[in-house]
Amino acid sequence: MYLQNQIYREDLKMALESIVAIERLYHKSILITGATGLIGSFAADLLLYANREADAQIEIYLLSRDERRLRERFASSLQESRLHFIVQDVVDPLGLDVPVDYIIHAAGDGFPAAFREHPVETMTPALFGTYQLLQYAREHALQKFLYVSSGEVYGKALAAENAFTEHDCGYLDSMSVRSCYPEAKRCAETLCVSFKQQYHVPALTVRPSHVYGACTSVRDNRATVQFLNDVAAGKDIVLHSAGRQLRSYTYMADCVSGIFTVLLNGTAGEAYNIANAASRVTIAEFAGILADKVGVECITRVPDEKELKDHTPIEYAVLDASKLERLGWCGKYDIDQGISHMLMIRTQIR
């Protein structure tokens, strides 16, 4: 579906060209968990695109609990001989009877409704899923294991002056259910470095900032997804707060090119932020840019009790990606271009 869209293919081309030393992945095998999610699905499409356009000959294994969603999401690629589906819960022992060279663990719900409605299941892919995959990596000679964490691990900034570097750490309330997501991510990161230290598993971590794009799930209720759904339906954008929270936003193509750059060039046992300095705006500014492109208004409405529970206590979420940039990576999409591409893809496909 997405691979048939011209703008989407342009994003894949740009992302592929932005990956430092991408040729190291050619003729290799890779497993991606969370393959129907925003990040995982674009990463999978990028590999499919590389196989078609660059004869990369990459064996692609995609893991998801829902076979129907896998087949729907990758409907145009079902005849690809190098595409393989693994249908299981990531928290179970990995049912893969062949070794792979790389693993990208991107499974897990990263949206507020999940944190509110099933916080336990929000935590388990990070806790048990990461453990099971690291055990597989321990038993097989992987070249790299990459865990997709989140910029939310930085918590609440004690002083909102500088962008978070990989060595910073803010406050998280461990007794708040809303912390189920960032606390589990923090724990999984420590599990990765522990397997690296004790069992020499070449594990490393990326911390994406707020990622946006067209490949959204119907269950996803993040603010950017709600804004996109509003304008796609011809409605005004509804803000449930003043929207003053400052964020590093990263378009999905930049995020995935950053992930593969770290996978191929990063140092095991370390973490890398993924963010684009040209995309630091408030939530209200993000909504305003999107609204202007389609000629609708931004309306602020008093949130109800359920919407209040979905609010993050983190007012400042700006990441410093200098460490990733030192690997040779550079973000290609500023906030205006990223939003434009997201909107065009969504409008043309749905």
DSSP 294-307: HT--EEE----HHH
Q: What does the alpha-carbon distance between residue 239 and residue 95 come to, in Å, rounded to a whole number?
A: 43
| Model pLDDT, residue 255 | 98
Helices assigned H by DSSP within the chain = 6-18, 38-54, 67-73, 112-117, 119-124, 130-139, 180-199, 223-232, 252-265, 283-294, 305-310, 322-325, 335-349
CB 184 within 8 Å of CB 115: no
Exposure string over 193-223, b if 16+ CB within 10 A, otherwise e:
bebbeeeebbbbbbbbbbbbbbbbbeebbbb
What does DSSP say about strands 102-105 and 144-148: parallel, antiparallel, or unpaired? parallel
| 3-class DSSP string for 202-252 | CEEEEEECEEECCCCCCCCCCHHHHHHHHHHCCCCEEECCCCCCEEEEEEH
Under 8 Å between Cβ of 42 and 18: no
Q: Is the pLDDT of residue 310 over 60?
A: no
Tokens coding 46: 């990028």
CA-angle at 125, arms to 119 and 131, nearest 5°: 135
* 254 burial type by CB count under 10 A (0-12 exposed, 13-18 middle, 19+ buried): buried
d(CA 47, CA 60): 7
More confident: 46 or 98: 46
Instruction: Record the tokens describing residue 158, joined without a space.
Output: 């004690």
Q: What percent of the chain has pLDDT over 70?
A: 95
Structure confidence at residue 115 as a pLDDT band (50, 70, 90)? confident
Give φ, ψ of 330 to 5 degrees: -145, 130
What average pLDDT does range 131-148 have in this prediction?
A: 97
pLDDT digits (tens, 9 = 90+) for 16-52: 999 999 999 999 999 999 999 999 999 999 999 999 9
For the chain, percent of residues with pLDDT exceeding 90: 79
Query: Rounded to the nearest 10 degrees, what angle do helices 38-54 and 6-18 cross at?
Result: 80
pTM greater than 0.85? yes
Residue 160 above 70 pLDDT?
A: no
Determine the structural domain holding residue 244 and report its residue range: 2-349
The CATH number given to whatever domain includes residue 326 is 3.40.50.720
Total domains in the chain come to 1
pLDDT of residue 64: 96
Distance between CA atoms of residues 279 and 335, nearest Å:
5
Segment 275-287, tens digit of pLDDT: 999 999 999 999 9
Q: Judge contact between 189 and 271, C-beta under 8 A.
A: yes
Residues 98-122, mean pLDDT to the nearest whole number: 91
pLDDT one-digit tens code per residue, 53-86: 999 999 999 999 999 999 999 999 999 999 999 9
- The model's pLDDT over 176-230, given as tens digits with 9 standing for 90+, comes to 999 999 999 999 999 999 999 999 999 999 999 999 999 887 667 688 888 888 8
Give per-residue pLDDT as tens, 322-348.
999 999 999 999 999 999 999 999 988
Both tokens of residue 18?
Answer: 């932005």
The rounded mean pLDDT for the chain is 92
Q: What CA–CA distance (Å, rounded) separates 71 from 62?
A: 11
| pLDDT confidence of residue 276 | 94
